[in-house]
Amino acid sequence: MDRRSFEPMTCSCYALFRSCSMGKEDAMRVQLAEQAQEILGQSDVVIITERVDDVALLIGQMVTMGFPEVLDRHIPRHWKQRRISWGWTAVIWLAYILTEGDHRKVSVETYLKGMHHTLSRLTTQVIEPLDFSDDRLSHLLKH
């Protein structure tokens, strides 16, 4: 967002709070809350909190390297395969391993439940816990 987008919000907040001491961050929070209300069509704002750590950096680096596309070219797609590709499955699993220091397949599904919204936004993929089941990850390891 450029600086001009904060000025109208600061003025409307001035009238609301009778003070112009509101900073740019506060004005942005109010603006984002109003946008969330418009999108959700509700008067109550729904806030989803997830721990991000270094997952965004790791996934971003792997995407920059073209990792999902390279794996998708070399791992054949199965006719029963779920929506998410093998490349994206590997990228998310590697980010999990590097972030958590845990290579066990069994704990990935639980981890995804707590990171569902963040991972969906980072990868622009529809991610479901079943996409990272033990069977699916075992199949990925065979390649």
The residue with tokens 């390279």 is 70
Domain spans, the chain: 3-40, 55-142
Residue-wise pLDDT tens digits, 68-84? 999 999 988 776 677 88
Q: What pLDDT sits at residue 36?
A: 67
**pTM score, whole prediction:** 0.63
Residue-wise pLDDT tens digits, 85-97? 899 999 999 999 9
